[in-house]
Amino acid sequence: MNSSVCVVGTDATMVYDAVHNVIAEALGELDPSFALQDFTAKDVTSSGGEPITPRVIEALNTPPFLVERRVVVVRDAQSLVADEVTEVLEWMSDPAPDVVLVLAVVGTKANKLVKGATSVVEVNVGSRTADRVTFVEAKLGEYRVNVDHEAAVKITDRLGDDVARVDGLARTLQTIYGTAQLNFTHVEPYLGDAGDVPEWDLTDAIDGGDATKAIVVARRMLDSKAALACRSSISCSVTICGWPSSKGAVFAPPMRPERCSASRVSRRPRRYRCPSDWELIESQRPCTGSPTPTWH
């Protein structure tokens, strides 16, 4: 067992889901009442607002009692100040025997505690659909939930950008179905509402001239819980097939990060067609022009 394990990621829910599993693995069959001490950096419930670090260091240097090892957890470790980080790093460089330190860092791998840990568990998920599908399959596999690839793809599509929900979904499915082989029909009742999708999915569809996909993504963005935030990016008006925009504005979604460059940013902003107008064209009015999005 490693003397220090750091779980790092930008999504707090995903970090603490992973921490739960790391703690379970570190404890094994040990009684948590004897083997586990759990701290939260900058704990607002601590008396007098005293720093938590002295108690953490004391726990790390206390030999296990009635158990073969002690597990010490520090949540929100990114909140530790420089002096506190130094103290923890000193222990990590010369750890006490039979003691395991588990750190939860909500942030990036640049944190010094991440670099000083003997083992790092990173829970960030890439922006590509394939990355999200891989993450969903891996997370379901952790709980021995057996789904085929087609079901994993549909689950990923429903969750969208909200992949943090997959851990709770996996636990639910494991409790109900165990290790039985599942298809999407078994999983669908437990998925809940559709999650949001990355804004650049709309940009990609428009750049690729795929009007159908752009309409689907735009509807998904408008229907999601993040619709209000999405609408804040509306910035300009357009015309479609010679008709004025019925809403007077369109989405101007941000570019995928890796596509940003000084030359592209310096150009005159492009104007996108309004998704609401696409819906109007599709459902109510015949369009005599090309349905493919064009730049104005």
Tell me the C-alpha distance between 283 and 287, whole Å: 10
Q: Is 72 in a helix, a strand, or coil?
A: strand
41 CB-near residues (< 8 Å, 6+ apart): 52, 74, 75, 76, 77, 78, 79, 80, 84
pTM of the shown model: 0.59
Which residue, chain included where needed, has tokens 């949540």?
A: 75
**pLDDT at res. 161:** 67
Please report the pLDDT score of residue 200 as a whole number. 63
Residue 296 pLDDT = 45
3-state secondary structure of 120: strand
Question: What is the residue extent of each domain of the chain?
Answer: 4-122, 129-190, 199-283
pLDDT digits (tens, 9 = 90+) for 109-126: 889 999 999 999 988 877
Q: So what's the pLDDT on residue 228?
A: 45
> What CATH number belongs to 4-122?
3.40.50.300
CATH 1.10.8.60 is right for the domain spanning 129-190: yes
Structural contact between residues 75 and 40, judged by C-beta atoms closer than 8 angstroms: yes
- The whole-number pLDDT of residue 43 equals 60
DSSP annotation of 12? H
Spatial distance between the Cα atoms of 76 and 165, rounded to a whole number of angstroms: 20
d(CA 216, CA 201) in angstroms, rounded, equals 10
Please provide the distance, in angstroms rounded to a whole number, between the alpha carbons at the two ends of the chain: 60
| Closest-CA residue to 8 (of 79, 89, 109, 101) | 109
Q: Is the separation of the CB atoms in 13 and 164 below 8 Å?
A: yes
**Residue 131 corresponds to which amino acid?**
D
Q: For residue 224, what pLDDT is reported?
A: 59
> Which residue positions in the chain have pLDDT lower than 70?
43-49, 127, 161, 193-201, 217, 220-296
- For 186-197, the pLDDT digits (tens) are 888 888 766 666
Closest CA to 41 of 102, 117, 108: 102
- In this prediction, residue 198 carries a pLDDT of 64
